[in-house]
Amino acid sequence: MESLEKAGLAVNYNKVSSTRPKSLPERVHIWDETLRDGEQTPGVALTIDEKIEIAKMLDEVGASIVAVGFPAVSEGEANAVAAIAKEGLTNASVAAPARAVKTDIDACLKADVSEVPIFIATSDFRLKYQLQMTREEMLARLTECIEYGTDHGLVIDYIAEDSTRSDMDFLCKAYKAAIDAGADKICVADTVGFVRPSVMKYIMQQIKKGLSSDSKYKVPIAVHCHNDFGLANANTLAAIEEGASFAHVCVNGYGERAGNAAFEEVVMALEELHNVNTGIDTEKLYNLSRLVERHFMIPLPLHKAISGDNAFTHSSGIHSHGQLTHSMTYEPISPSEVGRRREFHLGKFVGRHFVEYLLKMGGVTATEKQAREIANRVKKTHEEQKKRQTKESFDKIKSKLKNLRTGVSEREFWAIVFEVI
């Protein structure tokens, strides 16, 4: 892509030194959660073959860590995790999460993964109402399980679930306990997508300050963000700007509830806006996105950044004309950088210049008056097509899309109950 300076465009303020965060790492490792948190998207249930195909693609594009599933969930999930571990990934570490429970870690050992992120909450709310544990009991459990994992030769990471709603002193105490027990990395988790980017920066600053008393506590920090307020990407980038060097992401932003930080969007923001190396082959991002979309059977919004059908499609006559004069007029990056192609939409906003361009490409000569007439007829045709559309047909299509979300209905659940009991 032609640089902004060479293109003679306005200053790229992303590159102004005073706008560059001082704690921004030179390299950010992509920790993919598509096959774990991503598969927890309501209605998704992948086969072993689908999981293996996605894992191999994630490895191929350059992910550093691939969390391939949660072995303690079921026998089928354990078999899938073991199958991927047996396949072996070339670049990525194969990880499988565990609660702070020894039997969960045993399931990971049996599946033969190399890395186990152990998660347990640090917020008093979750300790009281979900885990029914005191702080002291939680720290003892965490220490015991991390030591158990490291004693069995595993790379152990600690994910402090609900970090962003935790008492800061206790959160730092938990991180220190985890590192003392042998944790290789720690993770800040915005489990319910609760904070603003500026608050995420504050939390990261306080964590680094709380762990600065001893050099042994300066381990890599990961960040895991959910999208309940549409801020997962922004909060992930905010944490990275304060020094986090591992980004938890899911392809296409899939995941629980409103989803997680999106793999392709976080990667391109880091590469293009922050000038940070992620180790990702960005030209393969679109193929990865399409593969995961097909296996998840959850259609992407047309307007989704990077991988949505409209992301590099131009409709306005002004925009189309601009793109014909210079590719950066209405695009921040070349579509080829993410494995895409530029497209133009013919409809009510088409302009004469684009009509003339298409005629020229087709070897057809026309006067300016004829080109305007063609443009006007295209506009009119589109408007007439739109009039024939009905809200009823849209509702039917939307209903059919909802049917793609599989799962057990309440009626089916009670039928199972009565068969068992």
18-296 to CATH, choices 3.90.1520.10, 3.40.91.50, 3.20.20.70, 3.30.70.360: 3.20.20.70
The answer to pTM > 0.85 is yes
Token couple for 6: 């060479």
pLDDT score of 380: 80
Kindly state the percentage of the chain with pLDDT values over 90: 71
- Residue intervals of the chain classified under CATH 3.20.20.70 are 18-296
Instruction: Please report where in the chains the tokens 């209905």 appear, as a residue.
Output: 409
**Average pLDDT in the 296-311 region?**
93
The pairing of beta strand 155-161 with beta strand 221-225: unpaired
Helices (H) and strands (E) in the chain, counts: 16, 11
Token couple for 44: 């998704």
User: Nearest-CA neighbor of 220 among 157, 286, 165, 276?
Assistant: 157
Mean pLDDT lowest among 39-53, 91-105, 256-270, 320-334: 320-334
pLDDT of residue 129 exceeding 80, the answer is yes
Mean pLDDT lowest among 8-17, 198-207, 279-288: 8-17
Q: What is the mean pLDDT of the chain?
A: 91
Task: Output the DSSP codes for 35-51.
Answer: TTTGGGSTT----HHHH
